[in-house]
Structure 1
Amino acid sequence: MSNLSRPELKQVWALADSKKQGFLGLTEFITAMQLIALAQEGHEINSALLKNAAVLESLNLPVMEGLAALQAKTNVSPVKEKLEGNGTAELQSNPLVKLSKRKSAKKSLSSVAPVTSVTDGLKRLYNEKLRPLEVTYHFNDFGSPLLTNSDFDAKPMVMLLGQYSTGKTTFIKHLLGCSYPGAHIGPEPTTDRFIVVMSGPDERSIPGNTIVVHAEMPFTGLTTFGGAFLSKFECSQMPHPLLEHITFVDTPGVLSGEKQRTQRSYDFTGVISWFAAKCDMILLLFDPHKLDISDEFKRVISSLRGNDDKIRVVLNKADQVDTQQLMRVYGALMWSLGKILNTPEVVRVYIGSFNDKPVNEEAVGPIGNDLFEKEQDDLLVDLMDIPKKACDRRINELVKRARAAKIHAYIMSHLKKEMPSLMGKAKTQQRLIDNLEDVFAKVQKEFHLPAGDFPSVEHFREVLKSGYKIDDFEKMKPKLIQAVDDMLGYDIPELLRNFRNPYE
């Protein structure tokens, strides 16, 4: 209605939605209207103009094409804004509220109940259409835990993984430009716990048992790992502009040797897998002098299955070797990863020295120094894109989860159908578990499903052996499957049409 170009409206939205919420509250809406008025008067759109009291005092209302006709229909008189000295505006009334009361003839998500953003719509769709299917067939026990509202509202997360002393804590400190509460740095295994570094009003550390009972935080699902893990889990809060957009997860250094694995008092790979499903990016850090991938590290990387698109590799402390050695180290690293990451694509590797110390130019030379600067810039651009892509990531994760839940329902209903009604249930269950590969193949052929979407046979077999009775599961419920199909085919596309990503 303002007749501004799409690039100008993009900039207006980006400046108004400063918290990257995907929708505008009253204050953000006022800011957007002020920016539109400034653009219509020929000013260049930027945040500095909003702090110029002289410009704002002489600012007219934005001109909206067709608004006068709308006001005449709804009997709303034109509104005059009273501008205050600090550059904010006080709205006496809002005629645009009337627009939200228009009813659509076609029944859809937006007509059943109004939603304010893509995130709000996804939350509603999950609770109404996907969650009932997951609960019915116990998908949370075989795959990811059930989602809560805080999972949709949470800031994007970046998890750092690596062996001890590869620079994970130093990497976070380097990005923040300062240390955070609970950070310990040293050549020995210093970080012995999972630390979530997030924004907060002041600097403080919160114990794990306290975090998981906070309904506003997306960590309630970690209670399944028990008190032994929660004693090794904490949240570090501090006020920082970067943490307003991204949350970092610092992890204990992955150790080598069977003794270290068996003496962990909690399921380490299970926790890593839980965080991997929630994170938007996973950084695997390597040291030029620690390229060997231990058995536990191999299990950790294998637990990231299904999240391959989130993985980035960082070859840290690269200034400790010269250029020739760096080439050999890079080749050895790619060879080691190629045996574990079972993907035909080459994983993205960032090379550099991510700390506050100056690069050792005597070792790497001018070519290496220039390379490190470009690699660091590329990684920072990748990290800065995370908040912009958070909305797309949530949609992608929900669609992927819905497809996995559907396949899980098909598998469990097929197993239920194969069970006898009276005698021989235990033997039949054992036979079905032993021949899960054949069951998967039958389900895939019957429903024409892609093989790549099926879960790991070994993991599925282990969960079934842990005390489940196949006879207790539900038979096929077509209504639940149809609800998920409708969500994927109609509701999500309609939601995206109504609320476009402002960064596209």
Structure 2
Amino acid sequence: MEIDSVAAGSCSKENQLIYKEWFEFADSDGDGRITGNDAIKFFSMSNLPRPELKQVWAIADSKRQGFLGFKEFIVAMQLVSLAQTGHEISHEVLHSDVDFKNMNPPTMEGLGVLMAKKKHSSKSSDPNGSPTADTSLTAQWFSSKSSKKISLSSVTSIVDGLKRLYIQKLKPLEVAYQFNDFVSPLLTNSDFDAKPMVMLLGQYSTGKTTFIKHLLKTSYPGAHIGPEPTTDRFVVVMSGPDERSIPGNTVAVQADMPFSGLTSFGTAFLSKFECSQMPHPLLEHVTFVDTPGVLSGEKQRTQRAYEFTGVTSWFASKCDLILLLFDPHKLDVSDEFKRVISSLRGHDDKIRVVLNKADQVDTQQLMRVYGALMWSLGKVLNTPEVVRVYIGSFSDKPINESLTGPIGRELFEMEQDDLLSDLKDIPKKACDRRINEFVKRARAAKIHAYIISHLKKEMPAIMGKAKAQQKLIDNLEDVFAKVQREHHLPKGDFPNVEHFREVLSGYNIDKFEKLKPKMLQTVDDMLGYDIPELLKTFGNPYG
């Protein structure tokens, strides 16, 4: 599977050198990103009408990052060149038979004169060529103690803007009410910069590892396949300079990886976690999470040494897509599988179901299997909407036409195309998903602050504190109901009562913070004004 093998890969070296000079000229602040204002000034020299430039930007910035990197800039320039020669600009043109490699750069009126002036002025002002300052500021925001005020000028993308809003407005609320202990660890720089993730869940031998190998068209370090439970650990398959496996304890402490939050599950889990790195074009866009087979039958009596559902819930909050894999001979939803699916609560929009190895039954049996699967899922997925089920055989083996027949083969191919299309959309929707998760987190942090401050308010001033605390913990459902009514909050946004009670029992409620209206108002302002303004600032500069 390839994700948008765009025109940039077909550009000649000579043209790349030209575009490199143009890119550095257009990049007014030298941060390696061309934002909307830069683009408007530079693209105007093409003399193309505004509607065409709007389409050029929309295609080049397909991930909606709010800026163009060098690769995206090349795509934009090639689209401008096509528009100048009368071609209609659309996504399809990138994959057409146009000879991008030998395409001439576009005509940019007056660009040569402006570049010559800039070179002359830079030589006269700085004859020795002073070194360029490091422009990667966002990593410093999370480590610097004096990062309370971050200049808006240092924000050059939607993700940068979210980082700034988190540090200035949301993180103080999370710290004050210990959100990281109850709900989710504090976010780091790597959490914002991580590539989109896809998690695969299912019983053993439903083809999870084979599915990843099928997409990559090759094996990866640490991959094992067999009819018995072969994957006994969580394996993150991601891009890297060479092929290697990194142990979980090492992965969890690496600042450039978004897995530091997994340390809360302890050494027992980290010994069953590893990162498999390899250079691969697909992994430059998407990271895969392979998981141990969910236990069923007698195997459920075997206790795992770590909180399996807690780990799946943690990954679910980080992932962009969750694939539940079944095969025609393993349709039963075991007790552990039910707990796993329950742990995905709040992430229903990410779930897709894959009925794998569907060529192992004939067409009539497949209809019955599909009906049985939908019935089983209906009992555990608490949603009125019908979940999307992809049917196919996702492996490198040829489809068994002796059972499926030509109609079955055609169906599987169409289903596979639909699933691959869903996967291809992940990088394009990654920025939207990140905004969505950020807003969900902010709302959860607000509700958490209301709960904690309400518990604090219910504690007596002097006598009977221990008794009052135990009563509050025992009647936590009533506390949630009171907070919900008092602040008019949605019931579905409240945390799991049992988990909250378990964590709360280890704290002294009397030490909690009182309600801080100003802090909550700051988060409300962020949701109501700052985020919409950020999206407007880094949207398509042509409207």
Aligned 8 A contact 2:63 2:428 in 1: no
What do the CA deviations read for 1:170-228 (whole angstroms, capped 9, x no partner)? 00011111111111111010011111111112221111122112111101111111222
Single out whichever of 207-216 and 181-190 deviates more from structure 2. Answer: 207-216
**Structure 1 position 371, deviation (Å):** 1.5
Show the counterpart of 1:238.
278
The answer as to whether partners of 2:67 and 2:157 remain within 8 angstroms in 1 is: yes
Of residues 467, 476, 479 in structure 1, which corresponds to 2:515?
A: 476
- 8 A contact 2:63–2:431 mirrored in 1: no
Residues 450 and 62 of structure 1: CA distance in aligned 2, closer, same or farther (over 3 Å):
farther
Q: Is the 8 A contact 2:214 2:394 kept in 1?
A: yes
The residue number in structure 1 matching 2:67 is 23
For residues 25 and 289 of structure 1, do their structure 2 counterparts lie closer, same or farther at Cα, with a shift above 3 Å needed?
closer
CA distance in 2, matches of 1:441, 1:199: 46
Per the alignment, residue 52 of structure 1 pairs with 102
Q: C-alpha separation between the residues in 1 aligned to 2:512 and 2:117?
A: 61
Q: What amino acid does structure 2 have at the position aligned with 1:314?
A: V
Secondary structure of 1:235's aligned partner: strand
Q: Shift of the alpha carbon at 1:7? A: 5.5
- The residue aligned with 1:263 is 303
Percentage identity across paired residues of the two chains: 77
Q: Does the C-alpha gap of structure 1 residues 159 and 198 become closer, same or farther in structure 2, counting only changes over 3 Å? A: same
Contact 2:58 2:540 in 1 (8 A): no
Q: Following TM superposition, by how much is the alpha carbon of 1:34 offset from its aligned partner in structure 2, in angstroms?
A: 6.2
Unpaired stretches in structure 1, ≥5 consecutive residues:
69-76, 83-89, 94-108
Greater shift, 358-367 or 124-133, is seen at: 358-367
AA of the residue aligned to 2:321: M
Aligned partners of 2:361, 2:100: CA distance in 1, in Å? 50
Partner of 1:494: 533
1:36 Cα deviation (Å)? Answer: 3.0
CA contact (8 A) 2:237 2:276 kept: yes
The 5-angstrom pairing of residues 53-452 of structure 1 reads 55-56=104-105, 60-62=107-109, 78-80=114-116, 112-257=152-297, 260=300, 263-452=303-492
> Structure 2: which amino acid aligns with 1:434?
D
Offset at residue 139 of structure 1 (A): 1.1
Following superposition, the deviation at residue 339 of structure 1 comes to 1.2
Amino acid at match of 1:61: M
Structure 1 residue 61: deviation in Å? 2.2
State whether residues 288 and 315 of structure 1, in contact with CA within 8 Å, keep that contact through their aligned partners in structure 2. Answer: yes
Q: Is the 8 A contact 2:66 2:540 kept in 1?
A: yes
Structure 1 residue 432 displacement after superposition: 1.2
Distance, in Å, in 2 between the alignment partners of 1:377 and 1:409 is 45
**Compared with structure 1, are the counterparts of its residues 261 and 277 closer, same or farther at alpha carbon in structure 2 (3 Å cutoff)?**
farther
Q: CA shift at 1:30, angstroms?
A: 6.6
Structure 1 window deviating more from structure 2 (4-13 vs 264-273): it is 4-13
Q: Distance in 2 between matches of 1:283 and 1:502?
A: 36
Q: 1:73 — aligned with what?
A: none
Gaps of 5+ in 2: 1-39, 123-148
Letter matched to residue 132 of structure 1:
P
Tell me the amino acid that sits aligned with residue 84 of structure 2.
Q
- The question of whether the paired residues in 1 share the 8 Å contact of 2:155 and 2:161 is answered with yes
Contact 2:328 2:369 in 1 (8 A): yes
CA distance in 2 between counterparts of 1:177 and 1:482 reads 51
Q: 1:40 to 1:243 in 2, by over 3 A?
A: same
Judged with a 3 Å threshold, the aligned counterparts in structure 2 of structure 1 residues 7 and 261 are, in CA distance, closer, same or farther, namely farther
Q: What is the DSSP-based 3-state SS (H/G/I as helix, E as strand, rest coil) of the residue aligned with 2:199?
A: strand
Partner-residue secondary structure (3-state), 2:218:
coil
The 3-state SS of whatever aligns with 2:406 is helix
TM-score (norm 2): 0.80
Determine the C-alpha separation between the residues in 2 that align with 1:153 and 1:417: 39
Asked if structure 1 preserves the Cα contact closer than 8 Å seen for 2:65 and 2:538, the reply is no
Distance 1:454 1:26 in 2: 43
Q: Give 1:10 shift.
A: 3.5
Q: How many residues end up aligned between the 2 structures?
A: 467
Q: For residue 86 of structure 1, what is the aligned residue in structure 2?
A: none
Q: Distance in 1 between matches of 2:249 and 2:541?
A: 38
Q: Deviations over 1:148-175 (max 9, x none)?
A: 1111111000000000000000000111
Question: Shift in Å at residue 80 of structure 1?
Answer: 4.5
3-state SS in 2 of match to 1:158: strand
Closer, same or farther: CA 199–7 of 1 in aligned 2, 3 Å: farther
Query: How far off is 1:25 after superposition?
Result: 3.9
CA 1:6–1:386 in 2, change beyond 3 Å: closer, same or farther?
Answer: farther
